[in-house]
Structure 1
């Protein structure tokens, strides 16, 4: 991929695709293929690696993505990535999430509304795209955008706070992210929730009615009942401020 700063692709409508990465060699080939199909193209694809020990960095570099290295911790990685982003709009895309080909146009069209500060896609959770979809978990994931803030921060829910998470492929203007203070650096889990609360002070939070396909690797490892219980439990721990417990109860799955 050509350097967007040299080709002049960075402008007021430019979009940086920001990928936080840690040992994602198994997931990256599908994502590389998906991002090659994007039309229009993003201004840049920027990977922030947190210390991968597999072939993740090599795969990203071979795809022509810009790769920078950061201390492990998704909040830290994303804060650095946004700071380094060359474009004025940023979409955070996890390595196991496959976007539609018109992702960039959706981001541009949504953020053309100045009333929207933060938005995300609607995730369908499953295996390989079109192989199978876990409809119950996908529906729960959709519903918690509303019920999580209603249960955990009801006073903020009434002012318009909605919670988006990593598998929503959330996107925003870089300037708004900086103004809101970014992610809390020490957070390893639920870092998106606090950002949503801060971003809601700047404008609306919107769940776009367009799908991304997100891997069901956690559900495959834990089982559907355990996975949905963990999602709910971590949300409650966040609500009561038990941050030290959240990471313990939400282990990595690759």
Structure 2
């Protein structure tokens, strides 16, 4: 049975970790690992991580840099990159263990947290877009065979679109395995900034990225930095 190393990059996510990590720890097999990579939190993220994780790595901030640091410590067959606001269940780990060895990477369908038809529609469109394009985003729980990930050099050290950059390189080798168990991810950004505004922003930034825009500039715009 293929072992799984879960890598969770965090920055001030103590509240989410208190819910996520105990649940994840209860789903792991003895050969599995759970790595939390902290990018300089000022809350209790590190304290919570040390209670539940296999290990807690501390790095400079930057999701790509943090996930690469976690992957460097991991020893599992699969690397599974999970955001702190996702809510994995036993079905997700079972589906990942059942992936054929000839499929080196993939992701899960998602559903957004919260009630309302709009969130269900957004989640469905995310899944459809990913199936058509062969591109996975971080909130879909990207998984990669560890040796394949290391051979590619991991995530590009850029502040945004690192998931898309990795998908493009992996897609050249094999189309992603799109697993059906829906992984719940938080709708907080859509709630905070407005659903349609967030959708428009994300599509606009991806279009600009494909046109060659600097990820640093896109990161500033995504987070409203000036």
Normalising by structure 1, we get a TM-score of 0.81
> Within 5 A, what are the aligned runs for 1:103-252?
103-110=92-99, 112-114=100-102, 116-127=103-114, 134-146=119-131, 149=133, 162-185=134-157, 187-243=158-214, 244-251=216-223
| Separation in 1, partners of 2:208, 2:23 | 35
Provide structure 1 residue ranges, at least 5 long, that are not aligned to the other structure. Answer: 1-11, 150-161
| Separation in 2, partners of 1:120, 1:42 | 21
Q: Is residue 46 of structure 2 the alignment partner of residue 46 of structure 1?
A: no
Provide structure 2 residue ranges, at least 5 long, that are not aligned to the other structure. Answer: none
Matched residue, 1:17:
6
Give the secondary-structure state (helix, strand or coil) at the position aligned to 1:241.
coil
| Separation in 2, partners of 1:61, 1:132 | 36
> Within 5 A, what are the aligned runs for 1:79-94?
79-94=68-83
What's the CA shift for 1:37? 3.9
Change (3 A) 1:215 1:144: same
The count of residues paired between Structure 1 and Structure 2 equals 222
What's the CA shift for 1:249? 2.0
What's the CA shift for 1:146? 4.5
Is the Cα contact below 8 Å between 1:120 and 1:207 reproduced in 2?
yes
What's the CA shift for 1:31? 0.7
Normalising by structure 2, we get a TM-score of 0.91
What's the CA shift for 1:41? 5.9
| Separation in 1, partners of 2:108, 2:48 | 26
Is the Cα contact below 8 Å between 1:38 and 1:103 reproduced in 2?
no
Give the secondary-structure state (helix, strand or coil) at the position aligned to 1:238.
helix
